[in-house]
Amino acid sequence: MASLTEQLAAMRLAAFGDGAKPGRIPPEAAAVMHRVTADQRASGYRTAMPVLGSPLPGFALPDTNGAVVTSAALLAQGPLVVSFFRGAW
């Protein structure tokens, strides 16, 4: 069985090709990331964000299993902490 270091090196090689170093992003991927960041900033999303400490508006969202959950139902059970995550991994 390969060591963890060897496994990680093989993963980097598969993802980025020869000579890739940990933490390095291929120029094409970096360009996409920079473009998306610029697009987000240009959208003005920050002006629509709630101010820190402002009340959370009520919501109904699917949970990780697809069942719709409402903030009202959760608050009825006690204090509520909301955490958003991106992706389906």
CA 34 to each of CA 19, 23, 28, 44, 45: distance values in angstroms, whole numbers, following the listed order: 23, 16, 10, 16, 16
First-residue to last-residue Cα distance in the chain: 26
Looking at residue 74, its pLDDT comes to 93
pTM comes to 0.41
Which residues are CB-neighbours of 24 under 8 A, at least 6 positions away? 16
Residue 64 lies in a domain: no
Number of domains present in the structure of the chain: 1
Looking at residue 89, its pLDDT comes to 56
In the numeric block, which tokens belong to residue 83?
């955490």
Q: Do 16 and 24 touch, CB atoms closer than 8 A?
A: yes
Residue 16 lies in a domain: yes
Looking at residue 83, its pLDDT comes to 79
Q: Do 60 and 69 touch, CB atoms closer than 8 A?
A: yes
Residue 69 lies in a domain: no
Residue 57 lies in a domain: no
Tens of pLDDT, residue by residue, the chain (89 residues):
889 988 888 877 777 665 556 567 778 888 898 899 899 889 988 888 888 888 888 999 898 899 999 999 999 999 988 877 776 65
Residue 79 lies in a domain: no
Residue 27 lies in a domain: yes
- Domain residues for the domain of 41 are 4-48
Residue 31 lies in a domain: yes
Residue 40 lies in a domain: yes
